[in-house]
Chains A and B, each alone.
Chain A
Amino acid sequence: GAGVSQSPRYKVAKRGQDVALRCDPISGHVSLFWYQQALGQGPEFLTYFQNEAQLDKSGLPSDRFFAERPEGSVSTLKIQRTQQEDSAVYLCASRGDAASGRWNTGELFFGEGSRLTVL
């Protein structure tokens, strides 16, 4: 697609429900990032994929958070047993990188985010 697409744009969940957030990156982009943005804060890194490989998940706040990108394109961020503190905007970004193993320096292209509200 022309840009990074995220769905749903808005999600309201009751505490304890599971949610799944989808990211469709720019076609051909190797790198995919997930960020969490709390109200009034900057984006905080959650996890990073290079193609289908999840190379860094150090930012995931708990084992209730899980991300996958099985075919190296679309990614899903899943949050199990949601808690109120999970309420935030979840941003996905992609980057058109060169060969793996290199430090890639290009800018990230962001989607509009998925706003999760946990009641």
Chain B
Amino acid sequence: AQKVTQAQTEISVVEKEDVTLDCVYETRDTTYYLFWYKQPPSGELVFLIRRNSFDEQNEISGRYSWNFQKSTSSFNFTITASQVVDSAVYFCALSERDNYGQNFVFGPGTRLSVLP
């Protein structure tokens, strides 16, 4: 069984603040992939990052960074110097090996509001 938990339902910050979105996952597999997606008001889910279970290096992409810690089963996402355009719902997702390789499970999402 897999499970993805995003404990923060909603977060509000003021522009230029840093914000971290938490993601905790459950899996019995040793090989898996983790993802973050952004869903702006238009509704389309936009891919942000993919990380495999063997690569625990943190990753930075512009104002975005990701902290993957297998020891705590967490894959947290930080936005530095947030901007109004970052306002969206963010989903963490887990892909685990199964018979058909189609297993892709999303967390409940965190709604981020960045206020001017």
Contact B52 A56 (CB under 8 A): no
Assembly CA distance A56 to B43 (angstroms): 25
At the interface, yes or no: B116 with Cβ under 8 Å from chain A? no
Assembly CA distance A97 to B107 (angstroms): 23
**A11-19, A65-73, A74-82, A102-110: which one contacts chain B?**
A102-110
- Which residues from B are CB-within-8-Å of A45? 104-105
At the interface, yes or no: B35 with Cβ under 8 Å from chain A? yes
B48: min CB distance to chain A, Å: 9
Assembly CA distance A45 to B95 (angstroms): 12
Q: Chain A 10-29 against B: per-residue CB contact (8 Å), 1 yes, 0 no?
A: 00000000000000000000
Contact B100 A55 (CB under 8 A): yes
Selected contact of A110 from candidates B4, B33, B44, B101, CB within 8 Å: B44
- Least CB separation from A108: chain B residue: B104
Contact A102 B43 (CB under 8 A): no
At the interface, yes or no: B106 with Cβ under 8 Å from chain A? yes
Contact B100 A89 (CB under 8 A): no
Contact A50 B100 (CB under 8 A): yes
B71: min CB distance to chain A, Å: 22
Interface size on A, residues (CB 8 A): 31
B25: min CB distance to chain A, Å: 13
- Which residues from B are CB-within-8-Å of A42? 4, 91, 106-109
- Which residues from B are CB-within-8-Å of A40? 109
Contact B108 A108 (CB under 8 A): no
Can you sample 25 A-B contacts with CB below 8 Å?
A31-B102, A33-B102, A33-B104, A40-B109, A42-B4, A43-B91, A43-B106, A48-B100, A50-B100, A50-B102, A55-B100, A55-B102, A56-B100, A97-B101, A102-B101, A104-B102, A105-B33, A107-B47, A108-B104, A109-B47, A110-B45, A112-B42, A112-B44, A113-B43, A113-B44
